[in-house]
Amino acid sequence: MTKVYPLALIGAYSLLAGCVNQTTVSQQQLKPVSSPCNKIDLLIQSSHQNFESMKTAQVKAKSTQTWKAKYNLVGDNCQIFTLGKNELTYSCRVDAVDKEQAITLYDNAKTITAKCLGDSWNALEEDRVNDNGKKTLFTHNDEKTNISAHLVPSKVAFKEQWTVYYYIGGSK
Q: Provide the residue-wise pLDDT of the chain in tens; the chain has 172 residues.
A: 444 433 333 333 333 333 333 333 333 344 456 788 998 999 999 999 999 989 999 988 778 889 999 888 887 889 999 876 678 999 999 999 999 999 999 999 999 999 999 999 999 999 999 898 999 999 998 888 999 999 999 877 778 899 999 999 875 4
Please report how many Cα atoms fall inside a 13 Å half-sphere around the Cα of residue 100, on the Cβ side. 0
Whole-model pTM above 0.85?
A: no
